[in-house]
């Protein structure tokens, strides 16, 4: 646990008592604060009360009659758009500072013992629309493989205030969502990574401008020593331009899978499966990514470039990074190879919950037996039509199945509704060299509580086929 600094004898309200909320409350109490808490769920409140937390309905005026020095909110709770949560509206009306666990982490991370360390601990933060979880996990894996002390948390794994106190030379790697960067009052990473930007969470940020602004705060207000910026979208190019003092400023490391970047002070790019590092117009390293099963496709090559750049920024050598690439298994539900059965590759990309992520998954493979569908987002799958030549057949499940069938044109397809049927039909029809790809391009909430459960169901069905075939 990282105790929150500078809260002694203060009364701090905590809104939201999920995993991060309870960890935040504990870290505040450890720092000497009096904590009052609230959650909209009666079941969650009952569990928190059983653990000894003091509850007060922060949506009511009465809770604010005694002094509250700050309100700490969980990331899933709206603080501005589409409308502030009533408890946050109370704090805003009274001028009570609103923060989140990320802000508390950054103001509490540097402990008194840092001066005695030979190498001060550092923090790498990763944000973006797609690929940030894989990039975060890959950075952490590379650091571990190189023998560097490291912890991982934030939007992946452990809540930031549940991390252990940092050790000499340690690198803490955090995945940060736009919800987290939007509100944090302190953001001071040593290295900040921006993977890419595509439409997501637009209701929460009142459009693309607000969404990009939330991501940008990590860089513009965080003042990192090094910035790793994906420049394959206009927003990334704009961000890199704002942060640098010219093309040769190597405090900005540009990353691309679309363009050669040899005209900049520091850049990492991947073309046709080869990663290249360029410094001041000279290529200094190259890695063949094509045979790395944990990093299939151009989107994962972009993740590899970003992770490579971040690790180079904290002093790792190219050969250390390349060695770690080879044994990176990937993350569950993100282009995860579950099994190869009879020459057929089975890939779980349940995290492909939007069209942009599904497009990247389709571009990573050939001869695809595509399982798609669920609770569709606006626009359906029309944007994927140019890539359907890679699809041998689509198996459509869930609420959107029949709507998707109308958008597939001449691509062979079958409306099967359930995952069990889709997997069975794909298994019966696939031939050696095919890839059965779960990339739904949809939310899961029509049939599953989340994308993880959907991916776990797919994986269990594939494992049953594997076991049956011995």
The answer to whether the CB of 455 falls within 8 A of the CB of 405 is no
pLDDT of residue 459: 97
Distances (CA, A) of 200 to 26, 305, 378, 455: 32, 23, 11, 21
130 is in an annotated binding site: yes
CATH class (in words) of the domain with range 109-326? alpha beta
- Average of pLDDT values for 208-227? 95
282 forms bridges with which residues in the sheet? 279
Q: Which residues contact 341 (CB under 8 A, 6 or more apart)?
A: 427, 462, 465, 466, 469
pLDDT one-digit tens code per residue, 5-34:
999 999 999 999 998 899 999 999 999 999
pLDDT one-digit tens code per residue, 131-153:
999 999 999 999 999 999 999 99
CA dihedral (86, 87, 90, 94) in degrees, to 10, reads -150
The rounded percent of the chain whose pLDDT value lies above 70 is 100
Dihedrals phi, psi of 15, to nearest 5 degrees? -105, 120
- Average of pLDDT values for 429-452? 96
Q: Whole-angstrom Cα distance, residue 261 to residue 85? A: 44
pLDDT one-digit tens code per residue, 335-351:
999 999 999 999 999 99
Tally the residues of the chain.
470
357 pLDDT band, cuts 50/70/90, is: confident
400 is in an annotated binding site: no
CATH class (in words) of the domain with range 11-99? alpha beta
Domain ranges of the chain: 11-99, 109-326, 336-468
pTM metric for this prediction = 0.89
The rounded percent of the chain whose pLDDT value lies above 90 is 89
| In CATH, 336-468 is 3.90.190.20 | yes
- In which residue are the tokens 């993350």 written? 331
Mean pLDDT taken over the chain = 95
Q: Whole-angstrom Cα distance, residue 462 to residue 337? A: 11
236 forms bridges with which residues in the sheet? none
pLDDT one-digit tens code per residue, 57-104:
999 999 999 999 999 999 999 999 999 999 999 999 999 999 999 999
Q: Whole-angstrom Cα distance, residue 187 to residue 106? A: 6
Q: Nearest-CA neighbor of 28 among 121, 112, 105, 86?
A: 105
DSSP string, 367-426: SEEEEEESEEPTTTTGGGGGGGGGEEEEEEESTTHHHHHHHSTTS-EEEEESHHHHHHHH
115 pLDDT band, cuts 50/70/90, is: confident
pLDDT of residue 268: 98
Q: Whole-angstrom Cα distance, residue 192 to residue 94? A: 34
Burial class (CB in 10 A: 0-12, 13-18, 19+), 300: buried
Q: Which residues contact 394 (CB under 8 A, 6 or more apart)?
A: 370, 371, 372, 404, 408, 411, 412, 413, 414
| DSSP element (H, E) containing 22 | helix 19-30
76 is in an annotated binding site: no
pLDDT of residue 377: 83
Classified as helix, coil or strand, 208 is helix
330 pLDDT band, cuts 50/70/90, is: confident
| Cis upstream peptide for 81 (omega within 30°) | no
291 is in an annotated binding site: no
pLDDT of residue 439: 97
CA dihedral (108, 112, 118, 120) in degrees, to 10, reads 20
111-115, 163-167, 170-174, 182-186, range with the lowest pLDDT: 111-115
Dihedrals phi, psi of 122, to nearest 5 degrees? -130, 160
Q: Nearest-CA neighbor of 188 among 206, 176, 170, 198?
A: 176
134 is in an annotated binding site: yes
129 is in an annotated binding site: yes
pLDDT of residue 399: 95
pLDDT of residue 111: 73
- Average of pLDDT values for 269-273? 95
358: pLDDT strictly greater than 90: yes
108-117, 417-426, 448-457, range with the lowest pLDDT: 108-117
Q: Say how many CA atoms lie within 13 Å of 372 toward its Cβ.
A: 31
Q: Whole-angstrom Cα distance, residue 141 to residue 125? A: 15
pLDDT one-digit tens code per residue, 394-421:
999 999 999 999 999 999 999 999 999 9
Distances (CA, A) of 85 to 39, 65, 81, 410: 11, 19, 9, 47
The answer to whether the CB of 56 falls within 8 A of the CB of 67 is no
253: pLDDT strictly greater than 90: yes
116 pLDDT band, cuts 50/70/90, is: confident
Question: Biggest alpha carbon distance in the chain?
Answer: 69
pLDDT one-digit tens code per residue, 213-222:
999 999 999 8
Q: Which residues contact 308 (CB under 8 A, 6 or more apart)?
A: 268, 275, 277, 287, 318, 321
195 pLDDT band, cuts 50/70/90, is: very high
354 is in an annotated binding site: no
């Amino acid at each position: 646990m990282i105790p929150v600094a500078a809260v002694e004898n203060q009364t701090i309200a905590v809104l939201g008592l999920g995993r991060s909320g309870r960890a935040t409350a504990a870290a505040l109490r450890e720092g000497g604060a009096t904590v009052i808490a609230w959650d909209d769920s009666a079941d969650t409140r009952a569990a928190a009360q059983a653990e000894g937390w003091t509850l007060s309905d922060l949506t009511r005026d009465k809770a604010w009659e005694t002094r509250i020095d700050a309100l700490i909110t969980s990331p899933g709770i709206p603080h501005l758009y589409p409308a502030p949560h009533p408890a946050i509206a109370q704090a805003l009306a009274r001028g009570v500072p609103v923060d989140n666990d990320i802000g508390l982490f950054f103001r509490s991370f540097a402990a008194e013992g840092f001066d005695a360390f030979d190498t001060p601990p550092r923090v790498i933060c990763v944000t973006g629309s797609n690929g940030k979880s894989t990039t975060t996990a890959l950075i952490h894996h590379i650091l571990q493989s190189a023998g560097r002390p490291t912890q991982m948390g934030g939007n992946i794994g452990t809540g930031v205030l549940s991390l252990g106190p940092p050790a000499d030379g340690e690198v803490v790697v955090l995945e940060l969502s736009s919800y987290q960067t939007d509100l944090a009052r302190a953001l001071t990473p040593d290295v900040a990574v921006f993977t890419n930007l595509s439409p997501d969470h637009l209701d929460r940020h009142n459009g693309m401008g607000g969404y990009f602004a939330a991501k940008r705060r990590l860089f513009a207000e965080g003042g990192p020593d090094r910035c790793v910026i994906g420049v394959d979208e206009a927003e990334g190019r704009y961000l890199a331009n704002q942060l640098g003092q010219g093309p040769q400023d190597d405090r900005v490391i540009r990353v691309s899978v679309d363009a050669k970047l040899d005209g900049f002070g520091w850049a990492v790019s991947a073309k046709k499966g080869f990663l290249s590092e360029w410094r001041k117009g000279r290529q200094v390293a190259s890695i063949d990514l094509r045979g790395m099963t944990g990093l299939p496709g151009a989107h994962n090559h972009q993740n590899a470039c970003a992770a490579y750049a971040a690790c180079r920024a904290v002093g790792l050598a190219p050969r250390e990074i390349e060695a770690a690439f080879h044994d990176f298994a990937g993350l569950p539900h993100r282009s995860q190879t579950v099994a190869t059965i009879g020459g057929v590759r089975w890939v779980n990309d349940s995290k492909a919950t939007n069209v942009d992520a599904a497009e990247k998954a389709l571009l990573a493979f050939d001869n695809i037996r595509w399982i798609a569908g669920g609770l569709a987002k606006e626009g359906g799958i029309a944007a994927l039509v140019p890539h359907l030549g890679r699809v041998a057949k689509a198996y459509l499940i869930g609420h959107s199945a029949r709507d998707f069938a109308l958008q597939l044109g001449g691509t062979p397809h079958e409306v099967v509704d359930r995952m069990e049927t889709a997997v069975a039909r794909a298994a019966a029809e696939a031939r050696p060299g095919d890839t059965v790809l779960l990339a739904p391009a949809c939310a899961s909430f029509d049939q599953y509580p989340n994308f993880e459960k959907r991916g776990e169901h797919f994986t269990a069905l594939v494992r049953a086929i594997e076991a049956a075939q011995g």
